[in-house]
């Protein structure tokens, strides 16, 4: 079996989308905000580019996408090297079937 090491962003994106879909189907919070003209133009561009209904959907899209970057933990370079080494060399013993694993466990 080959296992793919997931990047943190791969882990958080589905989670954030799940939260988004869960709470958009429920009661949403309403807020009155003041934004500069430039931010309003960006919202209009996002709204048009992604064919969204209103600016609140544009704000949601921007927050969800930007939130991935904020929530993604920074990994230390040493840890990334360790992950790369494990990916190249493998981690411990490799079993080709459950039976092999069972035999190994039962020998103990």
Give 41-99 pLDDT, tens digit per residue. Answer: 999 999 999 999 999 899 988 988 888 777 777 778 888 888 888 878 777 777 888 89
pLDDT at 16: 63
Contacts of 8 (CB under 8 A, 6+ apart): 72, 73, 75
For 11, 18, 90, 96, the CA distances from 101, given in Å and listed in that order, are 28, 35, 16, 8
pLDDT at 9: 52
Is residue 86 helix, strand or coil? Answer: helix
pLDDT (average), residues 16-40: 74
CA distance 60 to 23: 11
Q: Is the pLDDT of residue 6 over 60?
A: no
Q: What is the dihedral of CA 53, 59, 64, 65, to 10 degrees?
A: 100
pLDDT (average), residues 13-20: 61
| pLDDT tier at 21, thresholds 50, 70, 90 | low
pLDDT at 1: 47
């Amino acid at each position: 079996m080959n296992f793919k090491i997931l990047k943190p962003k791969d882990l958080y994106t589905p989670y954030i989308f799940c939260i988004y879909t869960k709470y958009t189907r429920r009661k949403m919070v309403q807020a009155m905000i003041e934004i500069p003209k430039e931010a309003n133009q960006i919202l209009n561009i996002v709204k048009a580019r992604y064919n969204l209904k209103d600016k609140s959907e544009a704000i949601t899209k921007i927050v969800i996408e930007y939130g991935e970057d904020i929530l993604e933990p920074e990994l230390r370079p040493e840890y990334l090297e360790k992950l790369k080494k494990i990916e190249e060399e493998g981690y411990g013993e490799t079993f080709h079937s459950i039976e092999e694993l069972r035999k190994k466990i039962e020998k103990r």
